[in-house]
Amino acid sequence: MKTNTVKALWRTGGGLAALGLLLIILVAANVIVGRARWRTDLTSEKLYTLSDGTRQILQKLDKPVTLKLFFSRSAPEVPVHLKAYASQVEDLLHEYRNAGGQQVTIEVIDPKPDSEAEEWAQSYGVTAQNMDVFGQPVFFGIVAVAGETEGVIAALDPRTDSLLEYNLTRLIYRVTHPQRPVIGVMSSLPVMGEEAPPYGMPSPKAAKPWLAFQQLQEDYELRKVDTDVETIPDDLQALVVVHPKELPEKTLYAIDQFVLRGGHLLAFLDPMNVADLESDNGQNQFGRMKASSTLGPLLTAWGIGFDDTKVVADMKSASRLRGADNRVEDSPVFLTLRAANVSKDDILTSRLNMLMLPFAGSFVDQTQGKLTVTPLLTSSDMSGLVPAMTAQFGADSVNREFKPEAKLQNMAVRVSGTFHTAFPDGKPAAPPAGSDTEKVKPEDATAAALQEGKSTIILVADADLLYDRFCVEELNFFGARAFQPLNDNVNFFANAVEQVAGSSDLIGIRSRGEFFRPFDRVVALEEQARQRWHEKEQDLVGKLQAAREQLSKLQNQKADGQQFILSPEQKDAIARYKQDELRITRELKDVRKNLRQEIETLGVKVKVANIVLMPLLISIGGVAYGLRRRRR
């Protein structure tokens, strides 16, 4: 009896000991796992993985960098979603620490009211945001410190999360490389802003700098270059030219010599510039719209064809806009470029997903292999060129004249190699005073005039992609001014500038995922319907023109006194035309109705698959697995 009691006690004690040991193991495992930061990124775009560019910059750090996250976590005014986003930011900072090793230190600081931490946040320039009228200000920003150099992201906005890694890596690069490259900016538009004139002088209010150039000022020293200069300064690392409208020969010669001596050029040309049309610069002395720009003889010398009177129309890249009479239409000249239109093999564009190019032009490679021409942005196989004047009258006018070509249109290219001068006779002489039309001989070539030289230039056939209206949306985030990117336009610009003047490591981290993830099947259905619609519309326009020609012919056959009397032949022609018009109009309605039905049917199938099919398959799999175990 005693033996059984002892055995029972041993069994009970052993069970309790095992239970206690298991509890200890579970607690220890939770502590260890809780301290460890193991992450697996299962997203197709690797949205939560540090890019190669970030890792390369962190590995090249030659001085320690301290990242200070200021966040008022203890403030009761902070909403839950902002606390969740702050945790994501903190996780990302730890990824930076893991990748940077001992060179990167992370500090998370809660600047409570009236504390020393709050004073530090204010001194660094972190913006105090008011979540509540009667509450305390909230801080949410990042400071980077490297030696005596400091940088700050004054306010973090969850809506701009896609730019977080770029902004953070750029912050680190800026504090570790305080010497900024010098970039020259030449433009006929106020891309760098314009100051208001002195008091009393008639002029509209001052123009603000375009956001794309505001961001450049954080990493580069921008220097304005006038459009009538005779020389480009030697200390410029690169020259950015935006909408070079009607540049004088002396300025073209200056650009020519800048390229030949190894300077890098980034030029945005435009066959029809919306920003120019919306300003007072859109009319010439005869009152006729003039909003195109080109580099003329320079392109000819380089072997790059560019027609500044025609724009690209692309049915597969059409954008849905609200046109005349408040009617929604698909504009084939207002291009929405997606992944298929950008070069995925080039580091400049490999991470871009969507761009908007209103009324873009096209470049043609005529170098005959003497230069290396790399397409960066291209159209689809349903594209062609239409007159810029036609594009101003809306999608209907474009559709009537549009004829797709059997080749892709290059809307942005990189050209590298040995360039030859566009001025073989030397610097052009200044025109005589008071004469704009008389031809003058160029000045004699001097020893300083270069005839050829190696360089790299990037040409873009649209300047409006940098215009704020087409690339960003201004936001008000608790009193702080912020911008939400509408597309990758600004990213493309920053990538291009960095390739000609800055660090190439930053290029790969610009786009952290797609801003627009279209349903590919729906887009394909819309394209098919649009093509059918276009064919029907052309058929209708052709029949209308034929009817009008027939009416005109019958009208000319009449006597002078019968011009306003309808003949039986005219009545029959009108009746036939009206019947054809009604028939084709019904067919157009059927196309739109079938399109909606196809999209709705596809949507129902997707919902059924998500709501019913997948749970059903999981349930069947579970039941089958359970039955299999019972048989065993």
Q: What is the pLDDT of residues 129-157, one digit of tens each?
A: 877 656 678 899 999 999 989 999 999 98
Q: Whole-angstrom Cα distance, residue 31 to residue 621? A: 35
Highest mean pLDDT among 201-215, 333-347, 513-527: 333-347
pLDDT score, position 516: 45
CB 242 within 8 A of CB 189: yes
Q: Which helix (H) or strand (E) holds 618?
A: helix 614-631
Structure tokens at 599: 């999209």
Sign, CA torsion 95/98/100/105: positive
- Domain definitions of the chain by residue range: 52-175, 180-193+209-425+449-470, 522-631
**Cβ atoms within 10 Å, residue 507:** 24
pLDDT score, position 321: 81
Q: Whole-angstrom Cα distance, residue 442 to residue 437? A: 15
pLDDT > 60? residue 573: yes
pLDDT score, position 260: 95
% pLDDT > 90, the chain: 36
Highest mean pLDDT among 380-389, 512-521, 545-554, 592-601: 380-389
pLDDT score, position 287: 45
Buried b (16+ CB within 10 A) or exposed e, 90-113: eebbebbbebbeebbeeeebbbee
pLDDT score, position 437: 46
Q: Which residue shows structure tokens 């509209």? A: 204
Reading phi first (left if > 0) and then psi (alpha if -120 to 50, else beta), residue 325 is in left
**Cβ atoms within 10 Å, residue 402:** 21
Tell which CATH classification among 3.10.180.10, 3.30.2390.10, 3.30.565.10, 3.40.30.10 matches the domain 52-175: 3.40.30.10
pLDDT score, position 190: 92
Beta bridge partners of 241: 186, 267
pLDDT > 60? residue 608: yes
Q: Whole-angstrom Cα distance, residue 351 to residue 484? A: 18
The predicted-structure confidence for 23-51, as pLDDT tens digits, reads as follows 888 777 777 766 655 666 665 556 567 88
pLDDT band at residue 568 using 50, 70 and 90 as cut-offs: confident
* Bridge-based pairing state of the strands 355-358 and 472-477: unpaired
CB 246 within 8 A of CB 228: no
Please compute the mean of the pLDDT values over residues 499-508 and round it to a whole number: 69
The predicted-structure confidence for 301-346, as pLDDT tens digits, reads as follows 999 999 999 999 998 898 888 766 667 778 899 999 998 999 987 8
Please compute the mean of the pLDDT values over residues 189-202 and round it to a whole number: 69
pLDDT > 60? residue 444: no
Find all residues with CB under 8 Å of 360, minimum gap 6, and list them.
Answer: 270, 271, 311, 312, 335, 411, 461, 462, 465
* Bridge-based pairing state of the strands 304-306 and 371-378: unpaired
Per DSSP, the three-state class of 542 is helix
Q: Which of 96, 94, 91, 93 is nearest to 59 (CA)?
A: 96
Torsion from C-alpha of 180, 182, 186, 189, nearest 10 degrees: 20
Q: Whole-angstrom Cα distance, residue 93 to residue 69? A: 9
Radius of gyration of the chain (CA): 33
pLDDT score, position 589: 66
For the domain made up of 180-193+209-425+449-470, give the CATH fold: Rossmann fold (3.40.50)
Looking at 439-557, which runs of residues are DSSP E strands?
Answer: 452-460, 472-477, 480-485
Please compute the mean of the pLDDT values over residues 85-106 and round it to a whole number: 91
Q: Whole-angstrom Cα distance, residue 409 to residue 385? A: 9
pLDDT score, position 21: 80
Amino acid making up residue 241: V
Looking at 461-557, which runs of residues are DSSP E strands?
Answer: 472-477, 480-485
- Comparing 362-371, 434-443, 498-507, 560-569, the range with the smallest average pLDDT is 434-443
pLDDT score, position 394: 79
Beta bridge partners of 140: 71
pLDDT score, position 163: 75
* Bridge-based pairing state of the strands 371-378 and 410-420: antiparallel
Q: Which helix (H) or strand (E) holds 238?
A: strand 238-242
Buried b (16+ CB within 10 A) or exposed e, 310-335: bbbbbbbbbbeeeeeeeeebbbbbbb
How does the average pLDDT of the chain come out, rounded? 80
pLDDT score, position 447: 45
| DSSP one-letter code for 198 | P
pLDDT score, position 511: 47
Describe the crossing of helices 164-176 and 52-59 by its angle, rounded to 10 degrees.
20
pLDDT > 60? residue 283: no
Highest mean pLDDT among 116-130, 254-268, 478-492, 590-604: 254-268
Please compute the mean of the pLDDT values over residues 346-374 and round it to a whole number: 90
Sign, CA torsion 497/160/481/143: negative
Please state, in angstroms and as integers, the Cα–Cα distance from residue 278 to each residue in 275, 290, 364, 469, following that order: 5, 12, 29, 11
Reading phi first (left if > 0) and then psi (alpha if -120 to 50, else beta), residue 262 is in left
CB 332 within 8 A of CB 325: no
Length of the chain, please? 632
Q: Whole-angstrom Cα distance, residue 157 to residue 85? A: 9
pLDDT > 50? residue 104: yes
Per DSSP, the three-state class of 201 is coil
Highest mean pLDDT among 113-127, 155-169, 428-442: 113-127
Please state, in angstroms and as integers, the Cα–Cα distance from residue 397 to each residue in 95, 296, 321, 401, 541, following that order: 53, 28, 15, 7, 11
Structure tokens at 356: 């908007």
Q: Whole-angstrom Cα distance, residue 601 to residue 241? A: 49
pLDDT score, position 145: 95
Q: Whole-angstrom Cα distance, residue 109 to residue 68? A: 7
The predicted-structure confidence for 253-276, as pLDDT tens digits, reads as follows 999 999 999 999 999 999 999 999
Please compute the mean of the pLDDT values over residues 463-479 and round it to a whole number: 83
Torsion from C-alpha of 119, 122, 127, 128, nearest 10 degrees: 40
Buried b (16+ CB within 10 A) or exposed e, 436-471: eeeeeeeeeeeeebbeebebbbbbbbbbbbbbbebb
pLDDT score, position 309: 93
Q: Whole-angstrom Cα distance, residue 495 to residue 102? A: 29
Please compute the mean of the pLDDT values over residues 449-461 and round it to a whole number: 92
pLDDT score, position 531: 62
- Comparing 217-231, 275-289, 319-333, 373-387, the range with the smallest average pLDDT is 275-289
Q: Whole-angstrom Cα distance, residue 203 to residue 421? A: 40
Please compute the mean of the pLDDT values over residues 74-82 and round it to a whole number: 87
% pLDDT > 70, the chain: 70
pLDDT score, position 375: 95
